[in-house]
Amino acid sequence: MAVIHHTDLKPTKLELLTSWLPTRPWYLGGAGEPELAKAGGFRLDDPQGEVGIEFMVVTDTSGTQPISYLVPLTYRGAPLDGAEHALVGTMEHGVLGRRWAYDGCHDPVLVAQLQALIEGRVQAQDQNTSDTPDREVTRSYLGGSPAPTDFSATAVDDHEGAELPAPDGTTLRLHRVLHSAPDDASLLPPEATGHVAGSWQLPDGTRARGLFVVLHTGPRS
């Protein structure tokens, strides 16, 4: 299990994201700087124990309505070859030293562990506590076995999310802009064969829940 170090980060994750989010095609804020707060998320373990994997939810309150975003991040002790375009920034970690933070949709370690989560081979972990499962994160998998193992680690962004394709036409879609729903199934499209859903906190203190990731098989409706 990954060990969560409660230590200083310079700059902080939110400071990195304040600069990075407005450069994304799915960012819905205005011309001003986003006003971000951590709202939720979860972690996954790297089997090799080298890469930190975090699915962070942040809420931007700079506009007329708060908007919550899912930001998958990986943290590495050295640069990831060929992923310069996916670098969010570097941080100085009080225990681990310099860390390179990447948009996790472009990191093969995160992509592989996300697929394992959907299939039920690994469990979502609490964002802030070591060796503690996150029971609010749910997943399903209705596909065959084995599922595709060659999703591209080069995500294609659009105005609401990012898609990772496999050669057989299967795609993993990450919902960058989050929408709440009364239950997981109400937002699932007919062709979905798997999903990950979770909860996050709204600025008024209430909890919202929605889809984080959907596995699509076959033509999209």
Residues 65-86 have pLDDT tens digits of: 999 999 999 999 999 999 999 9
Q: Give the per-residue pLDDT at 25.
A: 95
By the 10 Å C-beta count (0-12 exposed, 13-18 middle, 19+ buried), 188 is classed as middle
CA dihedral 58, 62, 65, 70 (to 10 degrees): -20
Phi, psi of 172 (to 5 degrees): -100, 120
Residues of the chain with pLDDT under 70: 1-7, 9, 94-96, 144-149, 152, 184-186, 218-221
Q: Give the per-residue pLDDT at 80.
A: 95
DSSP 115-150: HHHHHTSS--B-SSSTT-B-TT-EEEE-S-SSPP--
Q: Give the per-residue pLDDT at 95.
A: 65
CB-CB contact of 54 with 124 (8 Å): no
Q: Give the per-residue pLDDT at 129.
A: 86
